[in-house]
Amino acid sequence: MIVKGTTTRVIGQETESLACHYLQTQGLGLLERNFSGPQGEIDLIMEDRQSLVFIEVRYRRNNNFGSGAETITRSKQKKLLATAARYLQRHPLQADRPARFDVVSICMENNRPSINWIKNAFMALA
């Protein structure tokens, strides 16, 4: 449960754990959490059947100023793509699998987390 007054880092860890658990109940398998590269970090790397899924988790206390998913700018997408490429370089056996980028946006509604899972949230940029 995300508690008001908790540090940003703790909220991020709790939100990622909540998203991970939710996605596992939807049939995805966890491969790695918080994969870092020079360009940034990918929160969750999971598999959905044959596909490799790179997941960005976003949290908002409320959606008054837009959802968490709406905060993923073109610049952030480029960083995620570069970090995913780094992951594939380090895990060459994964490189032949179909891959996608998903976003899990979590918002508090009536003191309960509301989860919005967006599959194929964005495509690789040319």
Dig out the tokens for 93 from the structure: 């056996």
Q: Are the CB atoms for 51 and 100 separated by under 8 Å?
A: yes
**Rounded to 10 degrees, what is the CA torsion of 88, 94, 97, 101?**
-50
Distance from C-alpha of 59 to C-alpha of 61, rounded to nearest angstrom = 7
Taken in order of first residue, the domains within the chain and their CATH numbers are 8-121 (3.40.1350.10)
Dig out the tokens for 50 from the structure: 């044959």
Residues 6+ apart with CB under 8 A from 43: 16, 19, 33, 34, 55, 56, 57
Residues 78-104: tens digit of each pLDDT: 999 999 999 999 999 999 999 999 999
Task: Please tell me the pTM assigned to this model.
Answer: 0.86
Residues 2-53: tens digit of each pLDDT: 555 567 777 778 899 999 999 999 999 999 999 999 999 999 999 999 999 9
Distance from C-alpha of 111 to C-alpha of 22, rounded to nearest angstrom = 18
